[in-house]
Structure 1
Amino acid sequence: MSSRRFASQSLVRLLGHWQQPGSRMPLWRQLADALRLLILDGRLALDTRLPGERELAAALAVSRTTVGSALAHLREEGYLESRHGSGSRVLLPAGRPMQASAVSGEGVDLSTAALGAGPEIHQAYTHAIAALPQHLQQTGYERFGLPALRETIAARYSARGVPTQADEIMIVNGAVSGLAMVLRMLTGPGDRVVVDHPTYPLAIAAIQGASCRPVGVSLPERGWDVAGFAATVAQTSPRLAWLMPDFHNPTGRCMDIATRQAIADIAANTRTTLVVDETMVDLWYDAPPPAPLAAFNSRASVITIGSAGKSFWGGLRLGWIRAPARTLAALAQARDTLDLGSPLLEQLATQWLIEHEAQILPARRQMLALRRDICGALMREHFPQWRFEVPQGGLSYWIELPDSVATSLAARAETQGIHLGTGTRFGLAGAFDRYLRIPFTLESAALEEALLKIKTLWLPLDKAETPFRRRVI
């Protein structure tokens, strides 16, 4: 398989502000650390071919010796393979995963906002195994999913204010898989897809993987920019818009009723399909979210994607799509080229979890709310220069730093076994290098230990005077 060449300007944008002002670390080492971070994040895909040393040095405005030393160091570590006349190709050292586990001998992963399984997951699988024999005489191929689970999810939507029938639900292998399926059905190469900016990195990857062009609508200080959304839709004529109104990732904010109505009306008037990701909908701490966006204008074309991953456990790898039955029939045809359905055992386990969510989710929300508050208190104590708002839901804080040093901090943290989620992962063309996403999913002791390590790396980057004071809500 031939490797894809990465353009030098694209790489420069991804690297962001990789140089560390005032650092005693050699410049070549700073560059090597920043490139390694891109590889471990997955933003530099495996088998990608980097620009040549001369071209990259010119693009970065550094000496060729600096670039050569950085690439040589990464080759020694096993992150690059170089051949004369063919440039350097990205790979991983033998046995090295793309990301460390959340807490392990390999380090601490603060780039992933997810929880481990609770005891209810074992219970769910125990019940699923007990229920499995009655399904074994069937083929197991269900393109739309287990009928009983579809009925359960439909009833859930109806209870939330949008009447739904079982034939309006399709079970899929996670939210990202559902988005990929929708993109395959509705878009073609070069089509535009409107997204919030910042937004979920894997959504950006799915859109770009479908050869579409994500078009960002910047989020204001609070809420959503309705006028900006309307203008972007009018100017770009997108095939669809992908939104996360319920505890948006990474900001944690929730779209209010008035904004939902306005967005739905714009979609109806412009005939723009809305693809709404509700992955975080169950993780609210102060108040439940309003009714689904699909409830606000019956003329709007709305496809809603849900998931069991954040509500219960990511290892379930199960999600669903809510859409008109005719749309799902077309999706089923597109699905035939991807898979033949979702695993039955996981569907049975998810059905049990949803049926018992009244006993499971309140305790989960209470535990996460406590971790959220502890995380906020620790950051106020140890990082008074960081600016953030307490999220209404979700699993993480969106941190604004005093300067564009997120990449530098993350590169330093990586050398200490701490993997950070820089803001650039959530933006287009290298945006948001002055932001970090910090999840509060770790146990408090582990989180405090990680933050104290980060503090020792942060202090050399911190400036004597910050351009703004801390603001928290």
Structure 2
Amino acid sequence: MTSRLVDQLGARSAAGATAAALAGQIRALILDGRLTVGERLPSERSLALELRRSRSTMTRAYDLLEVDGYVSRRQGGGTRVALPHDHVSPQMDEDDSAIDLSIASMDSTPGLYDATVRALPRLAALRGTSGYSLRGLPELRDAVARRFTERGVATDAEEIIITSGALSALNLVLATIGRRGERAVVEQPTFPHALEAIRRYGYRTLPTPVDVQGWDTAHLTELLLQSRPHIAYLIPDFHNPTGATLTNSERSLIAATAQNTGTYLIVDETTAELDIDRGWSPRPMAAFGPHVVTIGSMSKIAWGGMRIGWIRAERPLIARLLAVRPSFELGTALLEQCIAVELLTEMPALAAHVRARLDAGRAAVAEGLARIEGVRMPQTHGGLSAWVDLGAPVSTRLSLAAREHRLILPPGPRFATGGVLERRLRIPITLPPDRTKAAMERLRLAWSDVRDGEITDREELPRAAVI
């Protein structure tokens, strides 16, 4: 069994690297957050055996990292991840000149203030209650259920739980049905924090490929049939980060296969309402099978500061979820729920605002990328981002170069398992056009730095597999 470090590096990428290149790859993992401060790394001997390299090469790589402050070594305590004392993460820097492309989210909808004002009498009427809301306000559960019904799957309020965001919803589902040591199918690429949550609950992940053209449904269904995983985590609408959408026929096939294998489909609909010009609307995945557990959120259609999410599931599972929830959360904030009730009555206006903002953001990204030779932006009909093809496996190097220009963006492998997808980069289409224009200029400068370095550094390019 490989160590987590080698899994993150990708054995193919690390196997032929020089000590300096290997140290650079490990440093990139640390700066990207894929290796955490304090985490213990394999011993030099173990790492040499895993990579089939000399121990002296591993020692030299760790020496270089220690000199720069990226690892600490103690006799008997092994080698652990660290950060240099003078290192300041751009996310924590008080200088707001950095542009952060690690967060693909818009600012609040213009109707948020008015909805908040209208929500205050509703909140005032709840002052005589305990203030705890384990299921969620009945009127909000009604509104969420009504939206599911409008989209094509009959739903009532008893099949809904309101949560503090979609990630909270996912953690509640995993805490309720999770089984350590079981298999979990995950898309590759996928939402990094969901992947981290699934691993934290002890699942062994099985990746299935997704690209801008969509899913390899034959691979996915065969994986379900052969491995019979306990869960599969899918983002079927405007997939994050590729922007792809499953067709109704693909949804039907996947749901039928999952029902046959006894697999829970955990379906993330956080991006389901982010349509620009797709031209068609699929039915929710829940319409195709009983083993579908759907999670959703207001964060992308209203505001990330409103921590409102939900779970849709069959009633027996809802009862299990409610039994587990008090162990780590006693409900969702009432003010946000009251505001969400008001906003969900204005879905046409919300959708129009989202469409206009994403359309402008998409145009700004396309204009900026057109000035960067060799980079291709795919057709992007909605969602949070463009899944850009760099034409070469340089995503991590580009991410590091971007930091020198005060641009924060995660490399392609951040969305994957095993250090792959070095040809890809996620560019959010959610920022205001002027901010995006500035970000694209910084990306162009970073790209020039990387391309200039290829002339003398080509042998040290990451050699991760491309999917």
Q: Which of 429, 443, 452 is residue 451 of structure 1 equivalent to?
A: 443
Q: Which of 308, 312, 333 is residue 302 of structure 2 equivalent to?
A: 312
Q: Which moved more, 1:110-119 or 1:304-313?
A: 110-119
Q: Which of 275, 285, 310 is residue 276 of structure 2 equivalent to?
A: 285
List alignment gaps of at least 5 residues for structure 2: 459-467
Instruction: Show the counterpart of 1:414.
Output: 403
> 1:56, CA displacement in angstroms?
5.0
CA distance in 1, matches of 2:48, 2:98: 32
Structure-2-length-normalised TM-score? 0.86
Q: Which of 359, 364, 370 is residue 369 of structure 1 equivalent to?
A: 359
Q: Which of 320, 324, 337 is residue 314 of structure 2 equivalent to?
A: 324
CA distance in 2, matches of 1:103, 1:448: 22
Percent sequence identity is 35
Residues 44-443 of structure 1: pairs in structure 2 closer than 5 A: 44-52=35-43, 62=57, 64-75=59-70, 80-91=71-82, 100=91, 105=96, 107-219=98-210, 222-286=213-277, 287-297=279-289, 300-383=290-373, 385-443=374-432
Q: CA RMSD in A?
A: 3.1
Question: Could you tell me whether the CA contact under 8 Å between 1:276 and 1:302 is conserved in 2?
Answer: yes
Partner AA of 1:70 in structure 2: L
Partner AA of 1:206 in structure 2: A
> 1:231, CA displacement in angstroms?
0.9
Call closer, same or farther: CA 1:87–1:167 in 2, change over 3 Å: same
SS in 2 for 1:139: coil
Partner AA of 2:316 in structure 1: R
Partner AA of 1:87 in structure 2: G
List alignment gaps of at least 5 residues for structure 1: 21-25, 466-473
SS in 1 for 2:273: coil
Question: Could you tell me whether the CA contact under 8 Å between 1:16 and 1:433 is conserved in 2?
Answer: no
> 1:139, CA displacement in angstroms?
0.9
Q: Which moved more, 1:406-415 or 1:151-160?
A: 406-415
Instruction: Show the counterpart of 2:462.
Output: none
CA distance in 2, matches of 1:413, 1:326: 49
Partner AA of 1:457 in structure 2: D
Partner AA of 1:411 in structure 2: L
Instruction: Show the counterpart of 2:461.
Output: none
Call closer, same or farther: CA 1:343–1:6 in 2, change over 3 Å: farther
Partner AA of 1:345 in structure 2: L
CA distance in 2, matches of 1:265, 1:418: 44
> 1:104, CA displacement in angstroms?
5.5
> 1:451, CA displacement in angstroms?
2.6
Count matched residues.
Answer: 448
Question: Could you tell me whether the CA contact under 8 Å between 1:274 and 1:301 is conserved in 2?
Answer: yes
CA distance in 2, matches of 1:352, 1:15: 53
Instruction: Show the counterpart of 1:470.
Output: none
Question: Could you tell me whether the CA contact under 8 Å between 2:298 and 2:309 is conserved in 1?
Answer: yes
CA distance in 1, matches of 2:16, 2:333: 47
CA distance in 2, matches of 1:219, 1:122: 38
CA distance in 2, matches of 1:359, 1:214: 39
CA distance in 2, matches of 1:391, 1:103: 34
Call closer, same or farther: CA 1:241–1:12 in 2, change over 3 Å: closer
Partner AA of 2:406 in structure 1: G
Instruction: Show the counterpart of 2:6.
Output: 9
Question: Could you tell me whether the CA contact under 8 Å between 2:90 and 2:406 is conserved in 1?
Answer: no
